[in-house]
Every structure is written in structure tokens, then in C-alpha cells.
Amino acid sequence: MAIVELVMPKMGESIMEATILRWHKKPGDQVKADETILEIATDKVDSEVPSIADGEITEILYAENDVVPVGAVIARINTNVEAAATATTPEAPVQQQAEVEVVTPQEEVHEPQFTTAAGPRFYSPLVLTIAQQEGIGFAELEKIPGTGTEGRVTKKDILNYVESKAKGFVPTATPMPARAAEAPAEEQAQAQPQPQKQSQPPSQVPQVQVQVQPQTQATSNGHSVSYNGTAEIIEMDRMRKLIADHMVRSVQTSPHVTSFAEADVTNIVRWREQEKKNFEKREGEKITFTPLFIEALVKCIKRFPLLNSSLEGDKIIIKKDINVGMAAALPSGNLIVPVIRNADQLNLVGLTRQVNQLANAARNNKLKPDDTQNGTITLTNVGNFGSLAGTPIINQPQVAILAVGTIKKRPVVIETEHGDTIAIRHMMYLSMSYDHRIIDGALGSTFLSAVVHELEHFDTHREY
């Protein structure tokens, strides 16, 4: 019997674990190679995990909602078709059901559909993103009937809700809040006597706990919230904890230095304004500023390869491939960094297509795990949110991240053949954070100045 092990895939360089959202298969089921076996989620990406071979699922090692480290074996597949075919004895189904009782794919049909004493209902990043895009608040989200495990709202549930809402009909929206409210009410009734009994000797303590605890349970956003006078206390959910951990780890790993510069990008703005309609008509793609910035960044990396490196112990690893990460903020508030691989081998049209494809996939939570791996340097556009500049945190294990700010028209002194003059120009700040263990101030500033030079000397007569 040939057994292959299915492991939790790596979803990104800084992601060390993922949550199992749903199993599509159970022990005893036949699977084909590349057929979806389960859905997983991290703080950044929802993804489907396919089978790595044809065969029969013989064992599932983790249950839904389990948090599993990257690389851990999550299932085993018997690739011996003959053995799988003869394994269907009368006792086999009973044994398989007993084995999967912990994994509980069957629990999807269990009632109730809303949270019981276990706490607030879990929402996957995909569902939260759709809710944000459709303007659905958490209070309204709680009213949507869920068909997933333990009443979880699935992608299909929320899309059906949006479609019904657009038609002026919201199915079962009226009775569901009552059911949702029953559980917190019961929890409060059970929870209130305990604090009172424990805290009866000191007379002032019960008043504080009675005020806080009902507020903590009556949440609609999936977080634990309490009120204490004029303050609102929100417990961080798992996603935010992971993001916080990634940011703290980066700052603790790399001594960050940030250099700033200013670029006159008037030529780029005018060229894009002049060519964007022809570009879209000819290439079928809308051109933004991002591929133009990436093009300038790549040209400078070729001249300063140390910016495209990483540090392992006391060894500097200079990467030959130039894979540019493109930081994108999702409507849910999470940050994701899809990667444009071999950016130095793409012309402007190729860069534009990659940028648009990855950005669209990120907005719709369609990125694959491989789309966020092996970046060698990152570009983040803080100007998308109106910021003039920022001090970005390095995306480990890279050594540099470049931030571009919003483009503003300002009066600027420029040199002409007739002398200095004041003109209205399109100006943009750039800021680059770099790992001071490898990149010193001289190299960091020189590299940033080189990027500015590329942007300011953009050829307005160029071909695509």
C-alpha cells in the first residue's frame, strides 16, 4: 500500500500556521489529483488545498477550526487503487464514521446555526472582505443564516444574502436575530451568578463586573468587547494578533533605518494621462502608476544588488531573481503582499498585466499561496490612502521596502536654460526602510536617489 502525506502548505514567508475552515472529503472518499480536499485560512489569504495524488483518503489528522503549523501532515492518501477498491467491507463505513467524528464534516448539518455558549461566531477573511465590499456591518452580518459548521456564514451564504437584499427580500433575516440573541441571554443568566457569588465579600466589585460582563457577551463583530466608564476594550482577534506578531518580529529582527527623498514625477503623470486610453485600447489593460514605479525600482536593483538580498546568520544571500512584492491593503483591513516574479524580465506591458492580475485577485481573495512567496524586495503605495510619506516595516526576510506617497501639485523652483523659475509640478515623496545590519545609510540613500533619478528622467517619447 502506497501512502502519501498531505501537508499544510506554506502560504507566505512570514506565515507559520493556518486554520482549517472546512474539509470537503472524509476518510474513505476517493480523490483525484488536484481535486480540492479542504479550505484553509490565514490572516491574509483564504485558499483551497488540492490533493497531491489519485487515491483514497485514509486518515484526517486535524479537525475543522484547528490551527495547524505549516509543514504538518494533515491527511494521508492511499494511492494503491486496488487496495482502496477492496477496502470497502461492511464494517468500513462504520469505522470511518467513528474516525471522522472528531473531524466532523457531518457537523455542517447540525443546529443551531448561530453561536451558543462557545462565544461569537467565526467569520473567514473571505466573508469579511465580501461584507466590507457590500457595505454589510457586523450587526447585519450576525443576522445572516449560516450553513457552515457551527452556523458559520460561508461565501455562498453571504452572496445569496446580497442577491436577495438587492431584490428587496432578505430570507429569514427577521427570526434569526431572535435566535442569535437567545444564546447571549442564556449565557448572561448563567454567568452573572458566578461573579456575584465569588465577589460578595467586597461590596464594590460586583457592580463593576455586572456592568462589564453583559457588554462583553453582547458583541456583533466577533470580538470580545467590554466597557469601563469612558473606555471601550476590544480583544484582538486571531488575525490581528498574527499581524501584530509579524510586525513586532520584523522590528526585533532588523534595525530599521528610513531614508526620505522627493521626486518630480510630472513627466510620468503627463505621459500616463496622454497614453492611458491608447494603452488600454491596444493592450487591453489599464495602466496605473504602480508598474511605472516597479520598473524604476527594478532598474536600480540591477545597479545595487545588495538591496535584493537577505541575511542568514552572518551570511548575506544576494538573490539573482528580482521578485517585487506589491503591498495591498484589503477592505477587511488585512495587508497582503502578492509577488511579481522575475520583474526584471518583464516590459511595461508585462508588469502592468501582472500588477492588475494580482491586485484583482487580492481584492477578490483569489490569490494562491504561491502568489505571496519568494519576494526579494517590496513596494508599498501609501499614497493610495492620501499619505504624503510613511515609515514602512520590512517584510522579512527581505532587507528593504520602498514606500511611495501621494502625488501632489506644488509650486517648485526648477532650473531652465533661461534661469531659475517657479512652476507647478507633480511632486511625490519616497521613503525606504532598510536593514541596517546589511545596508548602511550611504548605500540606502544612494539607492533611493537613483530611484528618484529614474522617475524624474522618465522618457515621455518611449514605447510601451
- Any idea which residues carry the catalytic annotation? 436, 440
State the Cα–Cα distance between residues 78 and 52, nearest whole angstrom.
11
- What percent helix, strand, coil does the chain show, rounded to 5? 40, 25, 40
State the Cα–Cα distance between residues 52 and 5, nearest whole angstrom.
9
State the Cα–Cα distance between residues 226 and 221, nearest whole angstrom.
13
Residue with cell 495591498: 328
State the Cα–Cα distance between residues 182 and 177, nearest whole angstrom.
9
262, 456 contact by CB (below 8 A):
no
Q: What angle separates helix 290-303 from helix 348-363, to the nearest 10 degrees?
A: 120
Q: Three-class SS of residue 51?
A: coil
State the Cα–Cα distance between residues 444 and 454, nearest whole angstrom.
16
Cell triple for residue 356? 492588475
DSSP 364-395: TT---GGGGS--SEEEEEGGGGT-S---PPP-
Cell triple for residue 244? 501584530
Using DSSP bridges, classify how beta strands 377-381 and 400-404 pair: parallel, antiparallel or unpaired.
parallel
What is the largest distance, in Å, between two alpha-carbon atoms of the chain? 95
Element (H, E) at 281: helix 266-283
Q: Where are the alpha helices (DSSP H) in 41-192?
A: 81-86, 92-100, 125-133, 138-141, 155-166, 175-191
With vertex at residue 379, the alpha carbon angle to CA 374 and CA 385, rounded to the nearest 5 degrees, is: 135
Element (H, E) at 450: helix 441-456
Distance of CA 402 to the CA centre of its chain: 19
Using DSSP bridges, classify how beta strands 36-41 and 46-50 pair: parallel, antiparallel or unpaired.
antiparallel
**How many other C-beta atoms are found inside a 10 Å radius of the C-beta of residue 3?**
13
Residue with cell 457590500: 134
